[in-house]
Structure formats: C-alpha cells, structure tokens
C-alpha cells in the first residue's frame, strides 16, 4: 500500500475540508471540560513515541473521536507489518501531513550566478490507529485514562433547579455528556471530574436545551436536506440556549465554543438570511421553557405559585 499521496492530491484543501466538516456538525473535539480520556483525546504519537505536532494533532483527534479509538499511537501499513501486525480488512486510514524543505541551486537569470533557494513542501501519507491493527504485541494496547476527581462540588440550588424540569439526569464514570431522545434522559460525567462547577452546569444547560426539543415539550424540528445539517442546527440552538441560560444564572459562558458552533451556519446564512434568526428564536424558546418550568433558582415554590395565581 503506497504511503505517498497521489500527485493531484491537494493537502491543504483536504485539511480544510476535514476540519470544516466537523465544525459544521457542531463538533469541537479538542476540548472537554471534564477529566477522563474521551477516545482519542490524548496527544497522538508516531510509532517511535514522538508526538505529532500542529495540524496533524487536530486531524488525528478528529478521526479518533469519530471512530472511538482509545490508543494514541498511529503507524503506516508497512510499519504495522514490520511489527508483526496486520491492518484489519475494511479499515480506513487517516491522512497526516509531512512538512519539509528542500534546497535547490538556481542560476540568476541576469548574472548567471548560482544561488541556494529553499522550497517548502507538504506531503500527505496514510496512517492507521493501533486499534485498527491485529497481531501487535500487547504492549501496544492502551486503555483510556480513568476520570480524575478534581474536587469540584455541586451547587444544591442549581441541582434543584435543573431537577425541577423533570428530565431524568444521571451521572456516572463514563466521560461523556449527552441527551438520549429515545429514552428522554440526560447523561453527565460526575461533577467532581469537571474543571469547575460552572463548566458542569454550563454543559448540563446545553444537554437540557436538547431535551426541550422532545415532543412532550417544545417538539422542535429543523430544516435540512441531510441528518448532518439538522444535527448541526440543533447543536447551534442548544449552545445558544445554554448561553442565554448561563447568562441568566450568572454562569460564565465559554463563547469560544459557541462561536465554533455558529461557524456551521455561515453557509446556511448565505442561502437563507433568516436561518440564524430562527435559531435564536428557538434558543430563546428553549431558555424560556426552562425558566417557566423550574422558576428562578432558589425561589420559594409557594411564592412562585402565588404570583402565578395572581
């Protein structure tokens, strides 16, 4: 299997297309606010143990996160064979880029004197994760890092506020936050594994915003020709709603992540100038539902009922 890319392969376009495709799906794979190695989040390494750098780190993170690879090590087809391994049939490679420079003697067109010119190049080649290879020594197998207890404490008032929305929410050692529409439940990593209480409740607000799309609540639906398009639009709504809720709760919002989600709407906005307006409206409806259902954090329910009756 050839390691070099074909001559017509545009390295830079491939890198750009790959990253934009993930951003358009609402994916920001290079940060998570809790501990415990999500698949592929540790720094990717070559077979020599040397860490990849620059754009290759992001490219391999994207692939590992999408495929669920736990090992940080990548190697070429030939390297796997040399170690006694065999890439499983049907496995697809990831593309990494080798950057370098070559020096060439070039004659000056006027004087005829030779001068040394350095020319940069970028060459793509294919690698496979250790998890895709059979027959390697056991020493190559790597298990994900278990969650670390950072000592982050829950806020009883916010816990009660989110619980008042009636969406079943569980915490476990699984290092992932998500909403399961079919079961109408939210899963969160344990609060102690988060960098801060704000990160925990900001993440929970995002997942709770997803839960508002359930048919028993706002029954939110999105336009879009593909599932990926509809998924990206829902992610934008959830992130905007979490930002609105966070601002009202006094939780510091990570706007860098929000901006990444919003990038997925650039194309949609070019085709439909009302797309972002609809997203903001949906997000506001989700935030409103959360406060209308749970009231203000720490408020006396009896007082709230009296105000509603009045």
What average pLDDT does the chain have? 78
Question: CA–CA distance from 85 to each of 11, 71, 130 (Å)?
Answer: 28, 15, 9
- Could you report the per-residue pLDDT of 56-71, keeping only the tens digit for each? 877 887 788 778 788 8
Weakest-pLDDT range from 15-24, 104-113, 156-165: 15-24
pTM of the model: 0.58
pLDDT at 89 over 60: yes
For residues 277 and 139, the model is more confident at 139
What residues contact residue 25 under an 8 Å CB cut-off, 6+ apart? 228, 231, 232, 235, 264
For the ranges 37-41, 141-145, 212-216, the one whose mean pLDDT is highest: 212-216
The owner of tokens 């609060």 is 191
- For 19-25, the CB contacts below 8 A with 24+ separation are 19/58, 19/59, 19/62, 22/62, 22/66, 23/260, 23/263, 23/264, 24/228, 24/232, 24/263, 24/264, 24/267, 25/228, 25/231, 25/232, 25/235, 25/264
In the chain, the percentage of residues whose pLDDT exceeds 70 is: 70
pLDDT at residue 23 in the model: 54
CA-CA distance, 253 to 164, in Å (whole number)? 22
Q: Is residue 1 predicted with pLDDT exceeding 90?
A: no
pLDDT (0 to 100) of residue 107:
73
The confidence score (pLDDT) of residue 306 equals 37
Q: Which residue has the higher pLDDT, 231 or 190?
A: 190
Kindly indicate the confidence band of residue 240, based on its pLDDT and cuts at 50, 70 and 90: confident
Q: Which helix (H) or strand (E) holds 190?
A: none
User: Where is mean pLDDT largest: 167-171, 229-233, 243-247?
Assistant: 167-171
- Tell how far CA 105 is from the center of its chain: 46
């Amino acid at each position: 299997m050839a390691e070099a890319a074909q001559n017509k392969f545009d390295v830079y376009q491939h890198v750009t297309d790959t990253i934009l495709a993930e951003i358009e799906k609402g994916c920001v794979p290079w940060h998570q606010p809790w501990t415990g190695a999500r698949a592929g989040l540790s720094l990717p390494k070559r077979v020599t143990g040397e860490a990849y750098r620059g754009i290759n780190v992001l490219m391999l993170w994207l692939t590992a996160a999408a495929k669920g690879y736990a090992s940080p090590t990548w190697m070429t087809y030939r390297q796997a064979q040399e170690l006694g391994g065999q890439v499983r049939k049907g496995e697809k490679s990831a593309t990494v880029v080798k950057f370098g420079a070559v020096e060439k003697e070039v004659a000056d067109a006027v004087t005829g004197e030779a001068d040394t010119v350095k020319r940069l190049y970028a060459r793509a080649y294919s690698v496979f994760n250790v998890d895709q290879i059979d027959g390697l020594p056991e020493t190559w197998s790597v298990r994900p890092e278990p969650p670390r207890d950072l000592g982050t404490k829950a806020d009883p008032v916010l816990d009660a506020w989110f619980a008042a929305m009636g969406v079943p929410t569980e915490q476990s050692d699984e290092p992932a936050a998500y909403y399961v529409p079919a079961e109408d439940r939210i899963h969160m990593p344990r609060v102690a594994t988060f960098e801060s209480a704000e990160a925990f409740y900001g993440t929970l607000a995002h997942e709770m915003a997803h839960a508002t799309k359930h048919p028993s609540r706002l029954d939110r639906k999105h336009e879009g020709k593909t599932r990926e398009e509809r998924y990206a639009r829902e992610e934008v709504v959830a992130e905007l709603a979490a930002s609105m809720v966070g601002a009202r709760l006094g939780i510091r919002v990570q706007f860098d992540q929000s901006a990444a989600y919003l990038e997925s709407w650039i194309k949609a906005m070019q085709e439909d100038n009302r797309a972002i307006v609809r997203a903001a409206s949906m997000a506001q409806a989700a935030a409103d539902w959360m406060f209308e259902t749970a009231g203000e954090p720490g408020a006396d329910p009896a007082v709230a009922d009296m105000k509603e009756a009045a």
